[in-house]
Amino acid sequence: MSAAPVTLTEDELRRLKAPARRERLFRIASYFSPLLLLLLWELSSQFNLIDRRFFPAPSAIAGTAWRMTVSLELFQHIGATLRRVGIGYVMGAVPGIVMGLILGLSRPARRVLGPIFAALYPVPKIAILPLILLIFGVGDASKFVVIAIGVFFLMFYNTMGGVMQTPQIYMDVARNAGATRFQTFRRIAFPAALPSIFTGLKLAAGSSYIIIAAAEFLGARSGVGFFIWASWQTFAVSRMFVGIVVISVMGYLTILALEALERRFVPWAKH
């Protein structure tokens, strides 16, 4: 708003607004600093300051990416990875949230079942991948399962934490208003835990891509992880970089989408 108080001089106003102006400049600079790194890389590669076999110039990688996009080869891999992550994610998140709510609300359930989850949680998901391949085969089912396991624990612990941090007063309000147990669950515990649930969803999205990359390295004939691994085996470094960038961008976009959902569904929390 430009409703400047008449009692301030031009100079005073200028000094008053200086920090905000500086802040804007920094923000603009922050968009360009990653590009600067890219430029440095490009020049170093062009002038042979770094080994071009390991670090092809960004322009060369972009060229490879473009050819792969035109030939639609890339999309087939992206599609396969997205499908596995998407299905595994939902398979893990829904039971994770439900169990988190139950154990968060019920002390007896937490006492009895808590130690089981605590014992299983530290097992590295990638360490049990061979076991899961053994049980579910090399098809997509094993990918769904390994992602679901990873996502489950993150959602479970974040949701339970969110419920347990719910101010007691909200529970009292529900009780005084005559809420049933299920109503308390749905109308109080769930919304109170939503900020934590979204934190969990974002963490789980990140770890889903880690797990799927590893899973596709080992036992898949498609997907971005498979593509990176296959490129390494044929020493197609440029293609490997394309794979790395693609899976990073997929992760980034997923988080952005979740943040948009969070703003939509958790408008009361600070972002």
Binding site for other proteins (CB under 8 A): 169-170, 172-180, 183, 187-188, 191-192, 194, 266-268
What's the min distance (Å) between Cβ of 177 and other proteins? Answer: 4
Give the residue carrying structure tokens 């106003």. 13
What's the min distance (Å) between Cβ of 266 and other proteins? Answer: 8
What's the min distance (Å) between Cβ of 167 and other proteins? Answer: 8
Give the residue carrying structure tokens 């062009």. 46
Q: Which is nearer to other proteins, 258 or 266 (CB)?
A: 266
Q: Does the CA dihedral 52-58-62-63 come out positive or negative?
A: negative
Question: Is the separation of the CB atoms in 238 and 56 below 8 Å?
Answer: yes
What's the min distance (Å) between Cβ of 77 and other proteins? Answer: 40
Q: Which is nearer to other proteins, 22 or 175 (CB)?
A: 175
Q: What is the spatial distance between Cα 26 and Cα 176, in angstroms, rounded to a whole number?
A: 51
What's the min distance (Å) between Cβ of 192 and other proteins? Answer: 8
Q: Which is nearer to other proteins, 132 or 188 (CB)?
A: 188
Q: Which is nearer to other proteins, 256 or 269 (CB)?
A: 269
Q: Which is nearer to other proteins, 67 or 187 (CB)?
A: 187
Q: Does the CA dihedral 131-144-243-124 come out positive or negative?
A: negative
Question: Is the separation of the CB atoms in 192 and 163 below 8 Å?
Answer: yes
SS3 224: helix
